[in-house]
Amino acid sequence: MAKRIMVKVDEYQKDGETKGKYTEVGVILNNNNGEYVLLDPTVNIAGVLAKQNSLAIKSGKESRDMVMASIFTDEPRQQNAQQSQPANQPAPIDDSFNDDIAF
């Protein structure tokens, strides 16, 4: 099961609530040897720190010298598919694309 490493870089308002805008910086995976991290090399960690400090100052908090990241565990996708599709029933067939296509 993968775990996503996410950093909060901004906030926005939706339906009267303050929500966080997150950027994924990597994933934590595991194998027989234990857990390991894959970091996205395209993410500028210094830029993330600058955005987090800007957000902190807007909120009246002190700036930091380290990036704060959250770890989110991904739920298995098979479980979600099984919940939406009743057991022992095949998925409905979409016949709308059965026409022959001339090339």
- Predicted TM-score (pTM) of the model is 0.66
pLDDT of residue 1: 77
**Strand 70-73 vs strand 3-14: parallel, antiparallel, or unpaired?**
antiparallel
pLDDT digits (tens, 9 = 90+) for 7-61: 999 999 999 999 999 999 999 999 999 999 999 999 999 999 999 999 999 989 9
Going from the C-alpha of 71 to that of each of 5, 13, 29, 99, the distances in angstroms are 5, 23, 12, 47
pLDDT of residue 101: 52
pLDDT digits (tens, 9 = 90+) for 71-93: 999 876 665 555 555 555 555 55
pLDDT band at 103 (very low <50, low <70, confident <90, very high): very low
Measured distance CA(89)–CA(75) in Å, rounded: 23
Measured distance CA(18)–CA(53) in Å, rounded: 18
Q: Tokens standing for 74?
A: 């991904």
On the question of pLDDT at 100 being above 80, the answer is no
